[in-house]
């Protein structure tokens, strides 16, 4: 009798231990996430925030996913692909926004989308400081939206994972684009980027030793071009020289070197880091005038602020214009040119952050526990939480850590 009782107690203790262990691993009460993926409405934006395989992973983790009809059209992702992955296909944007508490999209909200937001939602998208409007920020503040920007989501080691992913694509495409517009048929100087035996290659100058610069240099060198990389930070240039085993030239980005390089360059690429506040163009109009006729400027930095004084926004529909005999390509969403690759890459980078949303009870708890998402937040509790954005828009700034502590 006593032996039987001891066994019963032991079983009770083991069951209790297992229950406690399971509770410690993941609390039973977590925020119910309904994630909406709208169709992009920005000009020439062909990407979609999450691919069908990404949706399947989210659904398997307990996140309900709504996707607007034909959101993946330009990536050749069908509504049936998304439905098979477990998403609910919303016939209208109104239906999607009304039922979702988290909105994930690629481009910043367009003016016609602002009325669709519901109070208290979370928005995760790009922001594009170079084109941000007061109306956008005012609307998000008034609706108490918690807004996170791709440009700001940062890991503890200072890496910008989403920016890096899109910058890799932009850097490679910058060289492909430059090679095309150097061709005679596009009004270029008629130089083959890599040259051939007996004929020198083109000279490419890259302004910025970041991720865009790295992938642009890699592709340009791979094609056989002469490459010079300039940057204001000597340590970044040292890393480039070591990485490329001194197969390219580096120089400090000052007015003297920029003026010299402009005269000899067939291609100049603006690839400044999104962490830098571009208060004024690095390359003056006078310097652009000194470039060779038929040369090409690719201003990848245009979505954060122009790198060249002669830069102005273009689009994939009308990508170029000629000023002072120089072809300018200043498309802000360059990766959209390869929408399917870019959407897969964006999905791969976004998923780990989206999966964190399921581990907590409230948005405040999510931001408090996740360094990356907290760093990515630019609007919270009716305040702008990024100083650079507050300065650009004249809205009141509050440190997010203080707001979270108060809540």
Please state, rounded to an integer, the average pLDDT across all residues of the chain: 91
Provide the pLDDT for residue 279.
Answer: 66
Kindly state whether residue 257 falls inside one of the protein's structural domains.
Answer: yes
Last residue of a domain, one of 276, 301, 332: 332
Do residues 287 and 376 both lie within one domain? no
Do residues 296 and 204 both lie within one domain? yes
Last residue of a domain, one of 299, 332, 365: 332
What would the two tokens of residue 183 be?
């061709």
Do residues 172 and 300 both lie within one domain? yes
Active-site hit among 128, 203, 328, 360:
128
Do residues 173 and 314 both lie within one domain? yes
Do residues 97 and 138 both lie within one domain? yes
pTM: 0.86
Provide the pLDDT for residue 406.
Answer: 86
Provide the pLDDT for residue 273.
Answer: 76
H/E stretch holding 216? helix 211-223
Per-residue pLDDT of 86-105, as tens digits, reads 999 999 999 999 999 999 99
Per-residue pLDDT, averaged over 233-243, amounts to 96
Do residues 186 and 143 both lie within one domain? no
DSSP 106-174: SSPPPGGGGGGPPTT-EEEE---GGG--HHHHHHHHHTT-EEEETTT---TTS--HHHHHHHHHHHHHH
Number of domains composing the chain: 2
| pLDDT of 5 higher than 60 | no
Do residues 263 and 397 both lie within one domain? no
Per-residue pLDDT, averaged over 206-231, amounts to 96
| pLDDT of 23 higher than 70 | no
Kindly state whether residue 3 falls inside one of the protein's structural domains.
Answer: no
Per-residue pLDDT of 118-171, as tens digits, reads 999 999 999 988 789 999 999 999 999 999 999 999 999 889 999 999 999 999
CATH at residue 263 = 3.40.50.720
Do residues 155 and 205 both lie within one domain? no
Provide the pLDDT for residue 20.
Answer: 33
CA distance 116 to 104: 14
Known active-site residue 360: no
Provide the pLDDT for residue 29.
Answer: 59
Do residues 200 and 117 both lie within one domain? no
Kindly state whether residue 198 falls inside one of the protein's structural domains.
Answer: yes
Do residues 302 and 342 both lie within one domain? no
Active-site hit among 231, 299, 303, 328:
303
Do residues 96 and 206 both lie within one domain? no
| pLDDT of 8 higher than 60 | no
Provide the pLDDT for residue 66.
Answer: 98
Do residues 49 and 66 both lie within one domain? yes
Kindly state whether residue 215 falls inside one of the protein's structural domains.
Answer: yes
Known active-site residue 255: no
Give the domain extent around 248.
168-332
Last residue of a domain, one of 274, 299, 332: 332
């Amino acid at each position: 009798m006593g032996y039987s009782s001891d066994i019963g107690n032991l079983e009770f203790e083991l069951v209790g231990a297992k229950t406690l262990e399971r509770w410690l691993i993941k609390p039973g009460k977590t925020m119910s996430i309904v994630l909406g993926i709208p169709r992009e409405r920005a000009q020439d934006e062909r990407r979609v925030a999450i691919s069908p395989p990404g949706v399947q992973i989210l659904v398997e983790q307990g996140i309900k996913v709504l996707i607007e009809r034909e959101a993946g059209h330009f990536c050749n992702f069908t509504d049936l692909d998304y439905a098979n992955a477990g998403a609910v296909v919303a016939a209208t944007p109104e239906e999607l926004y009304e039922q979702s508490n988290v909105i994930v999209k690629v481009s910043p909200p367009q003016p016609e989308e602002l009325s669709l937001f519901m109070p208290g939602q979370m928005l995760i998208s790009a922001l594009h400081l170079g084109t941000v409007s007061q109306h956008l920020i005012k609307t998000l503040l008034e609706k108490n939206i918690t807004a996170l920007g791709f440009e700001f989501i940062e890991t503890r080691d200072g890496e910008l994972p989403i920016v890096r992913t899109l910058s890799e694509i932009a850097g490679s495409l910058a060289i492909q684009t430059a090679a095309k517009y150097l061709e005679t048929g596009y009004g270029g100087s008629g130089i083959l980027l890599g040259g051939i035996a007996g004929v020198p290659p083109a000279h490419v100058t890259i302004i910025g030793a970041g991720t865009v610069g790295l992938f642009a240099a890699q592709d340009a060198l791979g094609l056989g071009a002469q490459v010079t990389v300039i940057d204001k930070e000597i340590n970044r240039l040292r890393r480039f020289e070591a990485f490329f085993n001194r197969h390219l030239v580096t120089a400090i980005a000052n007015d003297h070197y920029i003026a010299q390089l402009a005269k000899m360059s067939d291609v100049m690429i603006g690839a400044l880091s999104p962490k830098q506040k571009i208060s004024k163009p690095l390359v003056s109009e006078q310097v652009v005038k000194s470039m060779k006729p038929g040369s090409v400027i690719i201003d990848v930095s245009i979505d954060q602020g122009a790198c060249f004084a002669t830069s102005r926004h273009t689009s994939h529909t009308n990508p170029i214009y000629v000023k002072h005999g120089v072809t300018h390509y200043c498309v802000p969403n360059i990766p959209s040119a390869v929408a399917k690759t870019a959407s897969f890459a964006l999905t791969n980078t976004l998923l780990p952050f989206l999966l964190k949303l399921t581990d907590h009870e409230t948005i405040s708890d999510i931001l408090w526990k996740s360094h990356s998402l907290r760093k990515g937040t630019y609007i919270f509790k009716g305040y702008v939480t990024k100083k650079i954005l507050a300065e650009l828009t004249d809205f009141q700034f509050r440190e997010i850590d203080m707001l979270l502590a108060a809540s």
